[in-house]
Amino acid sequence: MLILLFLHLYFPVKKSHLYEAFRSNILQAECDYWSLGVVAYEMVFGQTPFSADQLTTKYYNIMNYKSTLEFPEDSGVSQSYCDMVRALLDDATSRLGHEQLLKHLFFSSVNWNTLREG
């Protein structure tokens, strides 16, 4: 249900359309990882990765992300972070999933087995 809230806030569409998409299983777990990519981008760069003044341009940017997705060059953000975000925003069939995310280079210094032992 969080994905529905996110989509409703990010895209002003009728709630019934989102509900139908959810009911017909169009929205799968891959959407959650895509949403994570959007939030990760916005947390670091201060805007969504597909920002545009016009809604139609925003949709265009999403649908053509391979040519429109850009990362500010002078941000000082690591290449591994940008690669991770790009992989989260990739097509559903190529997108990072749980296991790939945990093993991504960006998290190479994290020992997931002892994380809670702090």
pLDDT tens across 73-113, in order? 888 999 999 999 999 999 888 889 889 999 999 999 999 88
Q: Is residue 107 one of the residues assigned to a domain?
A: yes
For position 96, which CATH number holds?
Answer: 1.10.510.10
Q: Is residue 13 one of the residues assigned to a domain?
A: no
pLDDT tens across 24-57, in order? 555 566 678 888 999 999 999 999 999 899 988 9
Q: Is residue 55 one of the residues assigned to a domain?
A: yes
Amino acid identity, residue 89?
Answer: L
From the list 59, 106, 63, the residue with the least C-alpha distance to 81 is: 106
Structure tokens at 14: 């009728």
> What would the mean pLDDT of 20-26 be, rounded to a whole number?
49
